[in-house]
Amino acid sequence: MKRRRTAAAVAAADFKNAMRRLAAGVTIVATAGRKDGRCGLTATAVCSLSADPPQLLVCVNRDTAPNAAIARAGRFSVNVLATRHKALALRFAGVTGVQGDERFARGDWIAAATGAPVLADALAYFDCRLVDRVESGTHTVFIGEVRAAHSRKNGAPLLYAAGAFQALAKKAARRSDRAK
C-alpha cells in the first residue's frame, strides 16, 4: 500500500535536531557484487527485527550508491564499530572524500559466507541475505536474514549522538564488560 504524503506535522529541521538526541550505535553496512564491486556506508539506522528467524533491518538513503548495490547483490553485512574505528566510520561516511571500493583500503576486510565484506575486528558483525525491502520517504528499509554472526567480548562501542561520534563513559563501559 502506497501512502499519500501529507503536510508534515513537524519541520524537517526540528525533526533532525530532536533525532540528534537519540544516541545510536555506529555501523558500517557493506555489500559486494559483480557490477558494483565492494560498496559500503556508515549507518546508525540499524536494528534487530526478529529472533526466529534471525533478521535485522537497515535503512539506506535511496540516493546513495550502496542502496542500489545492496538491492542488486542481494546480500549485505552490518559491522558494529568500536571507538577505535572512528576514522573508519568517517571514511565510510564520505567525510574523507573516498568512494566505492577505495573505502575498503583501510581495515581488515574479509569475505563472509554470503560474499559480503565483513570487518575482521568489528565488535560484532552480521552476514545477511536480503529477504525484503520497503521504500519509505527518502530511504529503503532492507530486511536481512542473518546467515552468520560474530561478536567480541571486549571493546567499547562507537556511538553517534548530538551530531558527533561519542563513547560510553568509562565507568559505564567497565560495568558493561564485567556483566558479560
Instruction: Scan for cell 557493506, then name that residue.
Output: 30
| Neighbouring C-alpha atoms within 13 Å toward the C-beta of 66 | 31
H/E stretch holding 164: strand 164-167
Q: Where are the alpha helices (DSSP H) in 6-74?
A: 12-19, 65-73
Per-residue pLDDT of the chain (180 residues; tens, 9 = 90+): 555 556 668 888 898 888 888 889 999 999 998 888 999 999 999 999 999 999 999 999 999 999 999 999 999 999 999 999 999 999 999 999 999 999 999 999 999 999 999 999 999 999 999 999 999 999 999 999 999 999 998 899 999 998 899 998 766 555 555 555
Query: DSSP assignment, residue 100?
Result: G
Domains of the chain with CATH codes: 24-179 (2.30.110.10)
Strand partners, 144: 56, 130
Question: Is the pTM above the cut of 0.95?
Answer: no
Q: Of 164, 171, 150, nearest to 80 (Cα)?
A: 150
